[in-house]
Amino acid sequence: MRLRVVSTVDGAPVRAHCEGSGRAAAGAAPPCASLDATLRRIARAATAALYDELALHPKPGLVSFVDRGSHADMDATTFMRSLFALRHYFAQVTALGACGAAFEALEGAGIAAERRMLRATGGINTHRGAVFTLGLLCAAAGRCAAAGELPTAEVLRRHLQQGWGAALHARAGAPPRSPAAAAARAAGLASANDEAARGFPVLFDAVWPALCRARGDGVDPQGARLDALLAAIASLDDTNLLRRGGRAGLDFARDAAARWLAQGGARRVGAVGHLEALHRDFVRRRLSPGGAADMLAAACWLERVSR
Ligand SMILES: CC(C)(COP(=O)(O)OP(=O)(O)OC[C@H]1O[C@@H](n2cnc3c(N)ncnc32)[C@H](O)[C@@H]1O)[C@@H](O)C(=O)NCCC(=O)NCCS
Ligand SMILES: Nc1ncnc2c1ncn2[C@@H]1O[C@H](COP(=O)(O)OP(=O)(O)OP(=O)(O)O)[C@@H](O)[C@H]1O
């Protein structure tokens, strides 16, 4: 099967059609005619997942429709503007993945998307981490769809590694490009680039299992997402927390999240009330787990693409 690019944004493909045989690799192969629809579904799930994340409340220190958490310069409207500006990017990066594009092409699309985000928000960073994490996941899902495989967590991880693992490792081994990544390395912590190079272990080994476990226990969708977010805060080396609160801030956030989960998480009576109190505490300390928010959005995306 060969993929043909049929439209572009900033010179990169947004849609891809397959040429030649309608049969893809062995296994649960989607027929070729439906590949385009599958790619669109993957991309739409990314925008929807960012909305899922924004709409969830209470999220310790984070922006939602209820309040702006620990952020003075952005609110839910800023996030909605950004989200709208990013929708073509997710289609583009999914198509790039399906076409087997090199990492440099994904990087170019990501940089252009960051620029569009900043234009839409008046220079405010609402979704930088999400552009990166969800962009890579969409590319992996595009690659997986082109191979005719279903996007389970395990399959996505394999496609991410086979497609761009070497480039991600090279990037993670290079000198840090930002003060946040430099601070993470100096503290022996894993930055966004390290997480990606390792195949997103926090997402696949902690956050996604927490979401699935909660749903399996009969917890409602909101409660399950709260469990997933707190699992992310408890286990991610979140450079946003490190930058705003130093090592003490990061440790405080992790311990508080681990305690909430150990007490039953969303299953506990009064769980939401406790989380509202924790949210107020994070705001008092100016803490914001933006990286954990990105992991939650990624888990919401996974839930949408794998059902
Ligand atoms: C890779 C990026 C995110 C690196 O940014 P930076 O050096 O500032 O790293 P940093 O670790 O501070 O994270 C940036 C953002 O990621 C999220 N984040 C924070 N900590 C983590 C973590 N441990 N793991 C995952 N995400 C995290 C937060 O939202 C944060 O604001 C990015 O800005 C970049 O280089 N973009 C270019 C586009 C690109 O390469 N795209 C790849 C293809 S999609
Ligand atoms: N609901 C959310 N609230 C806050 N941050 C979020 C949310 N969802 C995702 N994030 C992530 O957090 C990051 C933005 O937060 P950050 O605190 O780093 O902003 P900043 O402008 O870079 O820093 P500062 O506000 O300290 O000047 C984004 O990269 C984004 O992906």
Interval between CA 131 and ligand 1 midpoint (Å): 8
- Distance between Cα 125 and ligand 2 center (Å): 6
CA 147 to chain centre: 22
Q: Please write the tens of the pLDDT for every residue from 127-146.
A: 999 999 999 999 999 999 99
Residue of 198, 239, 295 with the most ligand 1 atoms within 8 Å of its CB, for mutation:
239
Q: What is the pLDDT of residues 195-246, one digit of tens each?
A: 999 999 999 999 999 999 999 999 999 999 999 999 999 999 999 999 999 9
pLDDT of residue 237: 98
* Res. 112: pLDDT tops 80: yes
Would you state the pLDDT for residue 2?
Answer: 54
Inter-residue contact 82 to 117 (CB < 8 Å) = yes
- Residue located nearest, by CA, to atom 42 of ligand 1: 107
Give one word for 238, left, alpha or beta, with left for phi > 0 and alpha for psi -120 to 50: beta
Per-residue confidence band for 181, with pLDDT thresholds at 50, 70 and 90: confident
Q: Which two tokens stand for residue 284?
A: 């008092």
In tens, the pLDDT along 232-283 reads 999 999 999 999 999 999 999 999 999 999 999 999 999 999 999 999 999 9
Cis peptide preceding 58, ω within 30 of 0: yes
- CA of 216 relative to ligand 2 center, distance in Å: 31
Alpha-carbon gap, residue 204 to 124, rounded angstroms: 29
| pTM for this entry | 0.92
Q: Cα(20) to centroid of ligand 1, in Å?
A: 38
Q: Identify which of 128, 138, 164, 168 to mutate to test ligand 1's pocket (most ligand atoms within 8 A of the CB).
A: 128
In this prediction, residue 177 has a pLDDT band, given cuts at 50, 70 and 90, of confident
Ligand with smallest separation from the Cα of 239: 1
Question: Measured between alpha carbons, how far is 279 from 263 in angstroms, rounded to an integer?
Answer: 17
Q: Determine the pLDDT at residue 9.
A: 55
- Ligand (nearest to CA of 137): 1
